[in-house]
Amino acid sequence: MTQAIKGYFDLYLKQLNYSTAEEKEFIRGNLSLEPFNKGDFYLKSGEIQTNIGFVCEGLIRRYYINEKGNEITTGFTKEKEYVTDYPSFVRQIPTKYYLQFLEPTTVVQLPYTTIIESYEKFKNSEMQGRLIAEKVLTILSDRVESFLFNTAEERYLKFMNENPDLAQRVSLTHLSSFLGIERQSLSRIRNRIAKK
């Protein structure tokens, strides 16, 4: 194992709190590292996700295609975040989403079968799974609430405050889709804020 791969695996394992060396080594022994190119897909609608991914470097856009054939962006996954359609992953049913790489990206992957086996072998693993689920589902819940309780400008400001590093990495088209507003409206909001 090269130092680079070891470094990526360590980055992933650092996110989790394994109670025993045996548990940690079991997980480490089942990790794989995969590089992806810009434009590649991690997952397409209709596919079943068989690995949970953890982004070491790079950026992914999550979207679906609506009845009019438009791509609707529902999220971005950046460094130190999990790339998954989690409800689909835990039920092992086909996803309705596309997860596409916006940049060259390196992903550490852990198979679904390993996760299930670790739940049976190690008491602590179920807690790790729950923590990952909570993190992923909190992101989804926050997105729904932002549409219920925030204006378009508030959604934009919240996104920029929470993701200042993504401002130059995400296109206006993808960002406006994510925020649920027209691109022209987003440009007006940005101009208005810049003049304040």
Amino acid at site 138: T
According to the model, what pLDDT value does residue 111 have? Answer: 94
Q: How many CB atoms lie within 10 A of CB 8?
A: 19
Residue whose C-alpha is closest to residue 5's, from 35, 26, 49: 35
Taking the alpha carbons of 126, 131, 134, 137 in that order, is the dihedral positive or negative? Answer: negative
CB contact at 8 A, 31 and 111: no
Q: What is the pTM of this model?
A: 0.87
Residue whose C-alpha is closest to residue 174's, from 66, 45, 55, 72: 72
Which residues touch 170 (CB under 8 Å, ≥6 apart)? Answer: 59, 61, 76, 102, 178
Mean pLDDT for back-to-back runs of 10 residues, the chain (196 residues): 75 74 87 95 97 94 96 94 89 97 96 90 78 79 86 90 89 93 88 79
CB contact at 8 A, 119 and 129: yes
CA dihedral of 174, 179, 181, 182, whole degrees rounded to 10? -20
Strands 41-43 and 82-83: unpaired
For residue 91, the number of C-alpha atoms closer than 13 Å in the C-beta half-sphere is 8
DSSP secondary structure code for residue 20 in this structure: S
According to the model, what pLDDT value does residue 1 have? Answer: 55
Write down all domains in the chain, each with its CATH number in brackets.
Answer: 3-122 (2.60.120.10)
